[in-house]
């Protein structure tokens, strides 16, 4: 059975820093964009989001009459540890080798107290695999985050972490993937309906 995944990035936070597990609200004032996004989704799809407010509120704004699943912490953004809510310039001044390795050659490098790219992928992949198993053959609207969406694009397109990071994922964008007997397939990425 084939499932389609409609991956939506939450509305903007306007933070000029690395925002991972901080529970910042989303700016959902672009009601026209939200309405277009909602209209572009299959009516029978299930809606799920990470448990962070910016994703929960965005999911509520585009849910329509669709069934909502419980929020899932496994769909959270990257855990930036001590880099959380700090900008690149400040962290680069303190720990240039580590921050460059994290973003330029993602893999096992971790922010202090945070998680590596490989750990993010394992966490999100496990959560998405669970959703696909429990809701086999259903369309899933997954409202989440930049890093969380990239993990699934990396998997579907069989990319290296560095190649996955080259993708742009805008706020309120839609990326589509599918999973079925033939494995993963990638559709349109970073679309603004």
Compute CA 49 distance to the chain's CA centroid, rounded to the nearest angstrom: 9
Task: Parse the chain into domains and list their residue ranges.
Answer: 3-186
CATH architecture of 3-186: 3-Layer(aba) Sandwich (3.40)
What's the predicted TM-score (pTM) here? 0.95
62 near 171, Cβ under 8 Å? Answer: no
pLDDT tens-digit series, residues 87-110: 999 999 999 999 999 999 999 999
Length of the chain, in residues: 193
State the average pLDDT over residues 146-160.
97
Alpha helix segments (H runs only) across 40-192? 53-62, 88-94, 96-104, 117-134, 146-157, 161-165
Q: Is the pLDDT of residue 145 over 90?
A: yes
Helix (H) or strand (E) holding 6: strand 3-9
User: What's the pLDDT at 1?
Assistant: 86
Q: Please give the structure tokens belonging to residue 99.
A: 């921050």
Helix, strand, or coil here: 154? helix
Q: Which token pair is 33? A: 């964009």
Q: What is the predicted pLDDT for the residue at 175? A: 98
Tens of pLDDT along 28-63?
999 999 999 999 999 999 999 999 999 999 999 999
What are the residue numbers of the active site? 10, 77
pLDDT digits (tens, 9 = 90+) for 156-189: 999 999 999 999 999 999 999 999 999 999 999 9
């Amino acid at each position: 059975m084939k499932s389609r995944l409609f991956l939506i990035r939450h509305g903007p936070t306007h933070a000029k820093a690395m925002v991972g597990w901080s529970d910042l609200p989303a700016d959902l004032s672009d009601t026209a964009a939200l309405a277009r996004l909602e209209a572009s989704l299959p009516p029978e799809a299930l809606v799920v989001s990470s448990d962070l407010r910016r994703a929960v509120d965005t999911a509520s704004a585009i849910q329509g009459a669709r069934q909502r699943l419980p929020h899932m912490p496994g769909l959270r953004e990257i855990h930036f540890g001590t880099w959380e809510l700090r900008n690149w310039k400040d962290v680069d001044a303190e720990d240039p080798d580590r921050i460059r390795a994290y973003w330029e050659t993602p893999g096992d490098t971790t922010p202090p107290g945070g998680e590596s790219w490989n750990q993010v992928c394992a966490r999100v992949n496990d959560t998405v695999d669970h959703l696909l198993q429990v809701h086999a053959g259903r369309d899933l609207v997954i409202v989440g985050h930049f890093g969380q969406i990239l993990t699934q694009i990396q998997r579907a397109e069989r990319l290296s972490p560095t190649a996955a990071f080259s993708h742009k994922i805008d706020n309120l964008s839609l990326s589509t993937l599918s999973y079925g007997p033939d494995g993963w397939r990638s559709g349109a990425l970073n679309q603004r309906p």
